[in-house]
């Protein structure tokens, strides 16, 4: 009820007036029955504007940290995500994420829509990164079609670290459903899972126009963090020699 209250009476109408999101391919969303919405992930706002343009409810997995925060802000965030019925997901490993995927399967069994970000985390630079195979496992286990969804310009509107989004028009492109019933019974074949996932990511690349990078987004983020630490360490190491040079100049 809290989900529909926010969407229909509270935040939804306000966001539509302020940001005027546009959408293409809404006819590809089924009017009833289960479906997996596989989306690229550019911004926190993705989980806001995709449900906003859909007449049906979409449930997303949300990172576990949103449910375990401390202090007033942490408790309010957890209350919000629980109130709108989102599913906590532990992204530390594939095995840790299994409870969220199992919850997603139950949602699909009820004939509802389940949204998932195959990249596993937000893109660090606006490019499209390698997909994880959880979406393929869900597709084969549920028999539900996979609908590719491309979010457009949400990274420009609300990049990581920006608390409030910039006022501009984000977009949503919804592709045609993908049917993987030809792989029925092969959900334990890792080559099949990778093939399905790569097919989904190719459709997302075509739909979004993003450059594709064949590495995981989290690996790219870890490398950027490591580079930043190395630069900071180099700068810190240079400071004593600079100070010593200054002392020598003073002495001379």
Give per-residue pLDDT as tens, 17-59: 999 999 999 999 999 999 999 999 999 899 889 999 999 999 9
CA distance 243 to 100: 54
pLDDT value at position 243? 47
- Which percentage of the chain shows pLDDT scores above 70? 90
Domain chopping of the chain, boundaries: 2-215, 216-252
Number of Cβ atoms within 10 Å of the Cβ of 107: 22
pLDDT value at position 87? 82
Residue 194 Cα distances to 22, 35, 202, 208, angstroms: 32, 20, 12, 21
237's tokens: 């190491």
Taking the mean position of all CA atoms in its chain, how far away is CA 154? 11
- Chain segment 173-218, per-residue pLDDT in tens: 999 999 999 999 999 999 999 999 999 999 999 999 999 999 999 9
CA distance 247 to 225: 34
Number of Cβ atoms within 10 Å of the Cβ of 162: 13
- Chain segment 69-81, per-residue pLDDT in tens: 888 888 877 777 7
- Chain segment 142-151, per-residue pLDDT in tens: 999 999 999 9
CA distance 248 to 252: 6
pLDDT value at position 67? 82
- Chain segment 96-148, per-residue pLDDT in tens: 678 878 889 999 999 999 999 999 999 999 999 999 999 999 999 999 999 99
Q: Is the dihedral of CA 169, 170, 173, 174 positive or negative?
A: negative
The pLDDT of residue 219 is above 50:
yes
Neighbour-count burial of 127, counting CB atoms closer than 10 A to its CB (0-12 exposed, 13-18 middle, 19+ buried)? middle
pLDDT value at position 220? 94
Q: How does residue 68 score in pLDDT terms, banded at 50, 70 and 90?
A: confident
Per-residue HEC secondary structure of the chain comes to CHHHHHHHHCHHHHHHHHHCCEEECHHHCCCCCCEEEEECCCCCCHHHHHHHHCCCCEECEEECHHHHCCHHHHHHHHHHHHHCCCEEECCCCCCCCHHHHHHHHHHHHCCCEEEECCCCCCCCCCCEECCCCHHHHHHHHHCCCEEEEEEECHHHHCCCCCCCCCCCCCEEEECCCECCHHHCCCCCCHHHHHHHHHHHHHHHHHHHCCCEECCCHHHHHHHHHHHHHHHHHHHHHHHHHHHHHHHHHHHC
**Arithmetic mean of pLDDT over the chain:** 88
Does the structural domain 2-215 have CATH classification 3.40.1130.10? Answer: yes
pLDDT value at position 235? 64
Residue range 222-245: mean pLDDT, rounded: 71
CA distance 210 to 31: 29
Q: Which are the contacts of 7, defined by CB distance < 8 A and separation ≥ 6? A: 51, 52
- If we measure between CA atoms, which residue out of 69, 45, 50 comes closest to residue 156? 45
- This prediction has a pTM of 0.85
């Amino acid at each position: 009820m809290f989900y529909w209250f926010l969407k229909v009476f509270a935040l939804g109408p306000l966001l539509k007036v302020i940001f005027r999101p546009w959408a293409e391919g809404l006819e590809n969303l089924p009017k009833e029955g289960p479906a997996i919405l596989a989306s690229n992930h550019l911004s926190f706002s993705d989980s806001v504007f995709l449900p906003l343009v859909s007449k049906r409810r979409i449930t997303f997995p949300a990172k576990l940290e949103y449910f375990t925060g401390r202090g007033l802000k942490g408790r309010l965030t957890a209350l919000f995500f629980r109130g709108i019925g989102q599913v906590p997901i532990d992204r530390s490993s594939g095995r840790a994420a299994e409870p969220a995927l199992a919850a997603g399967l139950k949602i699909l069994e009820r004939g509802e829509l389940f949204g998932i970000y195959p990249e596993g985390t937000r893109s660090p630079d606006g490019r499209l990164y390698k997909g994880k195979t959880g979406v393929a496992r869900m597709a084969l286990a549920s028999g539900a079609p996979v609908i590719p969804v491309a979010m457009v310009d949400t990274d420009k509107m609300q990049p990581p670290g920006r608390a409030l989004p910039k006022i501009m028009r984000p977009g949503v492109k919804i592709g045609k459903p993908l049917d993987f019933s030809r792989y029925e019974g092969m959900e334990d074949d890792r080559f099949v899972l990778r093939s399905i996932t790569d097919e989904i990511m190719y459709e997302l690349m075509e739909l979004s126009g993003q450059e594709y990078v064949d590495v995981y987004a989290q690996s790219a983020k870890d490398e950027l963090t490591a580079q930043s630490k190395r630069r900071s360490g180099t700068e810190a190491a240079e400071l004593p020699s600079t100070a010593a040079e200054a002392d020598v100049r003073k002495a001379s």
